[in-house]
Structure 1
Amino acid sequence: MKPTQDTYLGWEELVHRRGCEQPRWEVDLRLTHDESRYRGHGEEPLKHQCPEERCDHGNRFAAITVRIVCRSCGTAEVITGEKNDDTGRSSTSTAFLGYGLPPRKVAGLFLWPGAPFFSYGRLTTTEPHDFLVTADRVDRVEKKAVAGQITQTRGKRGGVVWSAAAVQSESGPYGAGMGLRWAHAEEGFKTITAAAKWIAARLAEHTTAGGGQR
């Protein structure tokens, strides 16, 4: 499970060259089953000396390459990595990633779904996603646009409740060590709508006080 912030923040957007007349990415994948980890360049190849009996990262390995090309402006990106139990290629859907799903408009705010907590187990529920919140609809969710966060948790009797955080603050008392920090946080909301309304109220207070995030 990845935090909701990881769904949207910290990603690098590929950029076309200035003046590109037909900005469109062509994406292809290639899997090489017997790639050499070390090609030498004139030196002796390194000897693989891992003591793990079930080692799967020897001097030869399966490699995956992603080629991203714009034929119009000529920009190209080639991304390579090792295919093993932890890294490589996975075929999934926007329902599992969260990213790619449309935002939900609640209380005048836009709620952007993240990857479901506990992965597929939570996908079987009626509300599988946590949310980053923006005051306006944006083409791309970036740190400067994030106004709040709504996350699912469990109440004292095991029922689903929601927690909310609002108003980014570098020195805020909430969220330390978890990415964004917040000036306000509250727990125990019974619905997403209630959590969103609370965030909207905190943003309105912040704007009235001259903070201006909204």
Structure 2
Amino acid sequence: MKAFTQVISHVAPLDRPNVDTDAIIPKQYLKSIRRTGFGPFLFDDWRYLDPGTLEVDPATRRPNPEFVLNEPKHAGAQVLIARDNFGCGSSREHAVWALDDYGFRAVIAPSFADIFFSNCFKNGVLPVTLQAEEVQAIFEAVAADAAAKVTIDLPAQEVRLPDGRVFRFQINPHHKHNMVNGLDEIGLTLQQADAIRAYEAKRRAEAPWLFN
């Protein structure tokens, strides 16, 4: 998992509440469990004018010119901002995989669905919860200047705007440690590799028949 310390980026504004996981990555793409390659299908139903599946090359489809991710001024944004209850709906981890594969390192919203929120930390995408008025301030800053860049500083737990305003956010210390150090659950387990090998050697000596 990629470590997250500080990201400085312009912002893609998705001005919608209750964005569910089926909107983030529709059900027809759940057949793949590769964890990669989902970026072109992020917000698929909103992003394209014609339907798609895993078998259809996204390059052959017509983009919706009115959708935010298709606007050139928001190309390459690593930060997505949305409204309340982002990531609601089914528990599909593919939703975070799609955001990550597209290039988003963080999502800012006033609130998140619980399972989506947890899945973000398991995959290196930082969910930043701010007050509704702070989120509104970022939307207004982006509307005034699409090139404006925000800084998300995880060690300091701050979102900094170009005009100097600073918004503090809370995060579980365990989640913060894992994100800063790029540790998912497998990475945490592998930190105990020496102890695991020692235990396996001990068990092999005590009960060799279990290993035959």
Q: Normalised by the size of structure 2, how large is the TM-score?
A: 0.24
Higher strand share: 1
More helix by share: 2
Structure with max Cα Rg: 1
Identify which of structures 1 and 2 has the higher relative contact order when contacts are C-alpha pairs closer than 8 Å and 6+ apart.
Answer: 2
